[in-house]
Amino acid sequence: MEETKKVKLSERTSDRLYEMIVDEGRYRPGSKLPNENELSAILQVSRTTLREAISFLVAQGVLEIRRGKGTFVVDHLPSDVLDLTSLAGVRSRVRAKDLFEMRLIFEPATVALACQRATDEELQQIARKGERVEQVAAEGGDWPLADQEFHWAIIKASHNEYMRRLYPIINDAVNEILQISKNRLRMQETALADNRTILEFLSRRDEAGARHAMSVHMRHLIYILQE
């Protein structure tokens, strides 16, 4: 049991460090990471866990260890880290229905994986993101952005690296569609109701139920977009 917890923590640590490098740009290509003591304090993990996380990112070609100098972000990140942005070029051409059909293919499977793999802490985080969508919608704020953060939390909890890398690009396209949709209010009402159902199954780690709820959610959105 202890070994399982240790593996999960090192995976979460590598995921967080990856986000700091690639998504947030905190450590740029070619830059040196803070020393082991400082970085383990930033990430709030032991040095052993940090080493395991770094080893994973070294194997992925994101980091490199220079003997006697420290750990550095590679000068040129691997193409599978960066080149997915080439998909962004099709955003203006892709039909909304096609985009949500793509989500229909992989998000039900992703939420099922989250039922299997999410830590209790991650499930709590997903629930908080769901509550945030409700709050932002009630205040008349940017609920599509809050809703994307809800789905992003589910993606991360699936612990599938390629889904995690693909989703932000899909999100950009989804946001463009939601900003111009004439049925934003209808989509908001649907998203809030469907999110509650998804959360209910997720909280019980009911894979079949969560998969079905996410599938229904995507089909609801496709139907509204076609109206």
Residue-wise pLDDT tens digits, 127-183 = 999 999 999 999 998 888 899 889 999 999 999 888 887 777 777 667 666 665 667
Q: Which of 3.40.50.1100, 1.10.10.10, 3.90.550.10, 3.50.50.60 would CATH assign to domain 2-77? A: 1.10.10.10
pLDDT at 118: 95
Interhelix angle 47-59/2-18, rounded to 10 degrees, is: 60
DSSP state of 19: I
Average pLDDT over residues 190-218: 96
pLDDT at 38: 93
Is the pLDDT score of 31 beyond 90?
yes
Q: Which residue did the predictor score with more confidence, 226 or 1?
A: 226
Average pLDDT over residues 34-59: 90
Q: Which fold has domain 83-226?
A: Four Helix Bundle (Hemerythrin (Met), subunit A) (1.20.120)
pLDDT at 84: 37
Distance CA 7, CA 46 (A): 13
Would you kindly state where each structural domain of the chain is located, as residue ranges?
2-77, 83-226
Rounded percentage of the chain residues whose pLDDT exceeds 90: 43
Mean pLDDT across the chain: 83
DSSP state of 66: E
Distance CA 69, CA 194 (A): 51
pLDDT at 180: 57
pLDDT at 25: 81
Can you tell me whether residue 31 is helix, strand or coil?
coil
Does this chain's domain 2-77 share its CATH topology with 83-226? no
pLDDT tier at 86, thresholds 50, 70, 90: very low
Lowest mean pLDDT: which of 43-52, 58-67, 75-84, 88-97? 88-97
pLDDT at 79: 52
Q: Are strands 63-66 and 70-73 parallel, antiparallel or unpaired?
A: antiparallel
Average pLDDT over residues 32-45: 93
